């Protein structure tokens, strides 16, 4: 069905790039906004970009988890304050918003997959800023839904898969943490789901978890990537504590995606096939 005007904020990033392609494949010609000419942190830029009755997908975010610890004000400005501006602008122009969030809103201490009803408890500046952004949008009167994603990878940006392959080019062995568990999720798959949501006659509202089906550790993910690429390198498991970082990361990033699967009327793809395809294309 016709979906009207679709606007992608952060449309040149890893997810935004694939979402733009998925939209065009579905016969939707989106309007793309991103740095340097568009700054989501500027209210006047949002007011110029958001058209009455449009659909806005916000992929724009401050995503440097480590650097956010030393730049909390900037992370908060982009991930929270700007989302509040977006909510206000969308409400006054009757625009519908899909906002992309993250597993980092959780502390990762739960012993089961996280559902949408579980209370967030971020343990990093990045996670806190994203949670504040969710609150700014959900507490507004704007028509909206929030989609949390995790462990994403794609051609348009830096990600765990590319880092592993880069390291494998210069080392004869790697140590990779095995106590962080989640679902490697291709941005192409996220984009596909978002287009399905955009095309629904009744726009979904509320909160949804979106991740590939199945779970694995970072260690097993690295081994899978190297095996697909045919790189014979030794990979040893280790703990997160062996690689201290400025920002704490959730050990359990598993999502319960049953709510989204019910909305879509289908199961989400297993993590292995999209990841193998991505690695082969690199």
> Is there a domain that residue 38 lies in?
yes
pLDDT of 3 over the 90 cut: no
Which helix (H) or strand (E) element contains residue 113?
none
Domain holding 143, by residue range, is: 6-159+183-214+253-270
SS3 content of the chain, % helix, strand, coil (to 5): 40, 20, 40
pLDDT of 67 over the 50 cut: yes
Cis peptide bond N-terminal to 244, omega within 30: no
Active site residue 126: yes
Binned at pLDDT 50, 70 and 90, residue 2 comes out as: low
> Is there a domain that residue 229 lies in?
no
Number of domains making up the chain:
1
> Is there a domain that residue 129 lies in?
yes
**Helix/strand/coil for 258:** helix
What does the pLDDT look like over 141-153, one tens digit per residue? 999 999 999 999 9
pTM: 0.97
Among 10, 5, 53, smallest CA distance to 29 is for 5
Helix boundaries (H) for 116-159: 125-138
> Is there a domain that residue 279 lies in?
no
d(CA 168, CA 275): 17
Of residues 33, 96, 114, 126, which has the active-site annotation? 126
> Is there a domain that residue 67 lies in?
yes
- The arithmetic mean of pLDDT across residues 267-273, rounded, is 97
Average pLDDT value for the chain: 96
> Is there a domain that residue 108 lies in?
yes
Q: Any idea what the Cα angle at residue 179 is, between residues 261 and 16, rounded to 5°?
A: 45
Supply the pLDDT for residue 1. Answer: 46
What does the pLDDT look like over 106-149, one tens digit per residue? 999 999 999 999 999 999 999 999 999 999 999 999 999 999 99
> Is there a domain that residue 134 lies in?
yes
> Is there a domain that residue 35 lies in?
yes
What does the pLDDT look like over 153-185, one tens digit per residue? 999 888 999 999 999 999 989 999 999 999 999
d(CA 136, CA 238): 38
CATH code for the domain of 80? 3.40.50.720
């Amino acid at each position: 069905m016709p979906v009207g005007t679709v606007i992608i904020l952060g449309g040149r990033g890893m997810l935004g790039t694939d979402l733009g392609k998925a939209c065009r494949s579905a016969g939707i010609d989106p309007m793309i906004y991103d740095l340097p000419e568009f700054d989501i942190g500027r209210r006047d830029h949002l007011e110029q970009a958001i058209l009455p009755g449009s659909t806005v997908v916000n992929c724009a975010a401050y995503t440097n988890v480590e650097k956010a610890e030393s730049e909390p004000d900037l992370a908060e400005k982009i991930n929270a304050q700007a989302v509040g501006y977006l909510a206000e602008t969308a409400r006054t122009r009757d625009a519908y918003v899909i906002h992309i969030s993250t597993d980092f809103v959780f502390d990762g201490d739960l012993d089961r997959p996280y559902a949408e009803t579980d209370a967030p408890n971020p343990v990093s500046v990045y996670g806190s800023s994203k949670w504040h952004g969710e609150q700014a949008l959900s507490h507004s009167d704007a028509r909206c839904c929030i989609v949390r994603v995790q462990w994403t990878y794609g051609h348009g940006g830096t990600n765990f898969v590319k880092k592993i392959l880069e390291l494998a080019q210069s080392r004869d062995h790697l140590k990779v943490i095995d106590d962080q568990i989640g679902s490697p999720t291709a941005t192409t798959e996220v984009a596909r789901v978002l287009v399905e949501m955009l095309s629904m006659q009744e726009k979904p509202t509320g909160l949804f978890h979106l991740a590939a089906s199945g779970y694995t550790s970072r260690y097993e993910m690295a081994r899978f990537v190297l095996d697909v690429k045919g790189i014979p390198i030794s990979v040893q498991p280790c703990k997160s504590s062996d690689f201290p970082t400025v920002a704490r990361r959730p050990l359990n990033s598993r999502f319960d995606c049953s709510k989204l699967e019910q909305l879509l009327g289908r199961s989400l793809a297993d993590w292995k096939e999209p990841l193998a395809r991505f690695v082969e294309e690199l």
